[in-house]
Amino acid sequence: MIEFEDKERFHFLGMFASDRRYYNEDFVIRYVFLDKKEHNLKINTINTNNEFKSIQNPLANLYEREIYEMFGLSPVGLDDLRPLRLFPENYPKDFHPLRKDTKLDIEYRGYGDYEFENFEPEGSFKILVGPIHAGIIEPGHFRFTLLGEPILKLEIRHSWKHKGIEKFAEEKSVNFAKILSENISGDHTIAHTLAFVRAVENACNINISLKAKYIRAIFLELERLMCNLNDFAFIFQDVGYSFGAQKVFVLKEKLMRLNYDISGHRFNKGVITLGGVSKDLSLEDIKRIKEFLGFLEKEYFKYKSLFLNSPTILERTDTTGEINYETAMRYYALGYTAKASGVFADTRVLLDEDVCKNMLSYHVLQKGDVTTRVLARFNDIEESIKVIKTLLDNIEEGEIIKSQKLVPNSMGFGVVESQRGNIVHMVELDQDANIYRWKIRDPSFHNWPLIQFAVLKDIIADFPLVNKSLNLSYAGNDL
């Protein structure tokens, strides 16, 4: 595909497969790209019954492995067909759960062992971390190969939290799936719900009011602020500066209490709904948000200055966890991880439909280390504050929700720029306007492979810091 050759123009957003045999069609695979020149999505579609040609790109190969595993479609030319989600310790090799004719009553037992990559340089040794960790965090397995202190290789194995969300949603109502979308990845409640709802709205040609778009954008930016403050605090903690960490955690907690005051939920669950929003913003709500932003600006800039002017902190973060431009481009990096390595794929700016398009700037950095990923978050924090203020000052009276009619046998995509990068949902509705196929792509699916490059030549003691500087979602990746 020519789009894979022109990476400067086309940013690959994923492969979305569906079993259409119920409708006397073939399997369908959709390749989705962000066209940075035309400011829209470019979608290429292929039909197949058993195999398709592999793309010579390491990120596309992950999608191909997923499609092989879930649908039994073979990517011709790809040798690595190891499972991503269905561990051979539990599942038979011929079990492909997203085929419509697959029987789910399988016996869970040991069918085999997962094959890790064979990498055994002379004099090297391995350190295995996880999936059970010392802290209260999600499970992931990290397999380090070291030669003395420096890390030579990291291999990751995920999907310990695979829940089968996409299969579970089949034949369920759109409203039921909307509730599921709020729980895909907890700290991205608004972003995932909005991506799902946008996909359904696009499928069914449902238009929402400008006021509803503004309120959605306000809650999305509040979520972005919450997550960026959380990440900033954890960076302080992982360099051993507990005072700064606790102070910034207080800012995050105050924001979550603001969420509860205006929506009734600390993560704003229930706000996003089909056709608009369930929550209007009163004058008192607007006043509370503006007062918090004023307080936040004053406090945040103190701790930003503390970070940037501390030689002790910067000695830990400078040149640590470097991801260069070429690697970020090859894996189609997203979010602050991409921006820190010179790659810009912010769909708030690059898609014409976003109400924040003209409120944001095009900013990228170059070094791609821990420090630079923190700086990218600083930019996002300051832009979120500015955007929320602009939206609040320009919000108009009007309806917050429109009546909606679901369209049977329809399909749509929803794209939302979350704090970690863009989220993409594809929704197909069946003849009863229930879920036929729902494909979820969290930004962590693109960014997790990058950490395997970020740690190279660092020491293992820096891994927690490098990991936190990307702060990826296990649940969003594992589905």
Which tens digit of pLDDT belongs to each residue from 227-262?
999 999 999 999 999 999 999 999 999 999 999 999
Q: Which two tokens stand for residue 69?
A: 């595993």
C-alpha 369/C-alpha 462 separation (Å) is 12
The pLDDT value given to residue 404: 85
Residue 314: per-residue pLDDT: 97
The DSSP bridge partners found for residue 128 are: 143
Contacts of 270 (CB under 8 A, 6+ apart): 182, 263, 264, 278, 279
pTM here?
0.96
Residues of the chain with pLDDT under 70: none
All residues at 6 or more sequence positions from 24 whose CB lies less than 8 Å from its CB, including other chains: none
- CA proximity to 65, closest of 11, 115, 138: 115
Q: How far is CA 71 from the centre of its chain?
A: 23
Which DSSP state fits 140?
-
Distinct helix (H) and strand (E) counts, the chain: 16, 13
Question: What's the confidence (pLDDT) of residue 107?
Answer: 86
Residue ranges of domains in the chain, CATH in brackets: 2-115 (no CATH), 176-435 (1.10.645.10)
Q: How far are the Cα atoms of 150, 151, 323 from residue 147, in angstroms, in the given order?
A: 6, 7, 21
Q: Per-residue DSSP letters for 270-297?
A: T-EETTEES----HHHHHHHHHHHHHHH
- What phi, psi does 190 have (nearest 5°)? -65, -45
pLDDT of residue 329: 97
Strand intervals (E) in 63-217: 74-76, 125-129, 141-146, 151-157
